[in-house]
Structure formats: C-alpha cells, structure tokens
C-alpha cells in the first residue's frame, strides 16, 4: 500500500507508477520496496470454529459467584465488553459453568 505524498490519500498502481485517485499525483514504483509490503491477498481470513472440547473450564476464563437464572447454579464464567458508548459502563456476559446458559448484565 502506498500513500500520496501530496494529499495523503491511498494510491493505486497504474502500470509502472503509483497514481493518486484524489489529486492525480504519480510516483514511480519500486519493486524492491513492494516486495517487502505485506498483503492480505491469498490469506485465510476465517479459520472457522475453534475446537474447545479438550480445554479445561479453568483455562477458558475467569469465574465469579453469580446465580444462573436458568438452573440456579452459583458459578459462571464471565467476560466484559464495551458495546455501548465509551462513556457508559461495560456489559458483563456470563456462561453458567453447570448448564452453559448464557446471559448478560448491564448497568442501568
């Protein structure tokens, strides 16, 4: 990937030159420099599902004492994610260690 020295836009290749589609600036291509560039072309972007069948529960993530609304068990794995605006608290996602029921808690 090459960026325009004039306007900072991303350039594309046009024969033996890089060309900016925003301002029209051009510069010669350097094959040695291009060989060092990393490309996503041909890379496997989705490796599919991960097999967790042989992973111990303790290795999956932290647990906490919380009551499962489905079975009443008192332990669950948890993770926290920021899914709302940055000035709001994170959402807590739980998975019961007994029945694998999933639920979430938000601060209101």
Residue 24 labelled as part of a binding site: no
Residue 7 labelled as part of a binding site: yes
Residue 89 labelled as part of a binding site: no
Residue 71 labelled as part of a binding site: yes
Mean pLDDT of all residues in 67-71: 93
Q: What is the DSSP annotation of 29-68? A: --HHHHHTS---TT--S-------TTS-HHHH--EEE---
Is residue 99 over pLDDT 90? yes
Q: Which domains does the chain have, with CATH numbers?
A: 2-35 (2.20.70), 58-105 (2.20.25.10)
Q: Is 64 left (phi over 0), alpha (psi -120 to 50) or beta?
A: beta
Residue 43 labelled as part of a binding site: no
Cβ distance 66 to 74 under 8 Å?
A: yes
Q: How many residues does the chain have?
A: 108
CB atoms closer than 10 angstroms to residue 21: 12
Residue 50 labelled as part of a binding site: no
| Per-residue pLDDT, 21 | 87
Structure tokens at 6: 């004039």
**C-alpha–C-alpha distance, residues 87 and 103, integer Å:** 23
On average, the pLDDT of the chain sits at 82
Residue 16 labelled as part of a binding site: no
Structure confidence at residue 43 as a pLDDT band (50, 70, 90): low
Residue 11 labelled as part of a binding site: no
């Amino acid at each position: 990937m090459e960026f325009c020295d004039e306007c900072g836009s991303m350039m594309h290749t046009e024969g033996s030159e890089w060309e900016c589609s925003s301002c029209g600036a051009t510069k010669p291509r350097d094959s040695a420099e291009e060989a060092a560039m990393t490309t996503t072309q041909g890379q496997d972007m989705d490796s599919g599902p991960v097999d967790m069948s042989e992973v111990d529960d303790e290795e999956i993530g932290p647990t906490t004492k919380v009551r499962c609304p489905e079975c009443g068990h008192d332990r669950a794995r948890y993770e926290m994610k920021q899914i709302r605006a940055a000035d709001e608290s994170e959402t807590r996602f739980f998975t019961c260690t007994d029945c694998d029921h999933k639920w979430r808690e938000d601060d209101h």
